Amino acid sequence: MSTVFLYPGQGAQFPGMVKDICDAHPEAMRLVKEAEEISGEALSEWLWNSDASLLSRSDRSQLAITVASLAIAKVLEIKGTKADAVAGFSLGEYPALYTSGVLSFADTIRVVKERGRIMQEACEAIQNESSSSELDNASPGMAAVIGLETDEIIAILKEYSGEKGIVFPVNMNSPKQTVVAGTAEGLAVCEKLCKEKGARRFIRLQVAGPFHSPLMHKAAKDFGNFLETISFQNPKTLFFSNVTGDIIKSGEEAKRRAVEHITYPVLWTSVEKKIHAFFEESKSKAVLLEVGPGKVLSGLWRDSGYAEAITSIPCGTLEQIQSII
């Protein structure tokens, strides 16, 4: 039986995450404290004592979710459950990079801290550049569109997602859900147009900005400059990329994809298809473990059409971990 670790992305955070796990497992607590020393940040305070609004900032949530996910992975490893393959949704690619041996633990923490800082600055700059007076109280960000197919949304937003666009389809989550990213004005336009076309729901997400869209181009450039100082090794375990929906073969490719990741869509349905096809073709059984806070990825897998062949199990709480080890 092969085990695939799925790591969730930004938006999965909540105050108090992995507290029960760290209280029960000293190894997990030690990992949090080590990450605090490397980052110079009070991560335990962020994880357990921040309010939701502060925790949603990119310069907090990205590091907090990464450390929470790796704390869970540490407990699973100690209990004898190791990853044979990894995939990460958006930010989740960073704990996946560590698990697959592409990045060291220290570099993972440093890279995620810098990524969060750069992306938060970019989000604030986009907010400050907003010229829509009637939307002064709104923010750039992301929203999930429920009830329309991705191709329909792409067609609806064609006029607004060109070179100087304000809203873009960015996360291909499932046949039932596509996430869009844009300015405050862009999201308002998108909500109106999608509901007119029959969308059942338009759900604003708890993220700080329009991630995975061309609006983040400066962040991608700055992050690329930073990554020039970081060493990426070849993956030691199977690594499914949500930039391409395919398998990453080298450290050089992993670094390139890490930069593209900031402005490219998340092709999660393609990752799911590739995971299913890989294990079907190899005629081997597999189980997916959602290693991080929440259970969003297990829900998306349930909607993928592959759940009968491969099970996805959330592992974000002590009780959930205890049920599988």
Burial of 159 (0-12, 13-18, 19+ CB in 10 A): exposed
Residues with active-site annotation: 90, 212
Quickly count helices (H) and strands (E) in the chain: 14, 9
Residue 301, both tokens: 């897998």
Q: Residues 98, 74: contact at Cβ < 8 Å?
A: no
The 3-state DSSP class for residue 80 equals coil
Residue 230's beta-bridge partner residues?
Answer: none
Residue 114, both tokens: 């810098």
Give how far Cα 84 sits from Cα of 19, 236, 243, 310, Å: 27, 9, 20, 15
- Residues ≥6 apart with Cβ < 8 Å to 157: 165, 167, 168, 169, 180, 190, 193
Closest CA to 140 of 150, 148, 149, 131: 131
Give how far Cα 130 sits from Cα of 121, 134, 140, 167, 185, Å: 15, 10, 9, 13, 8
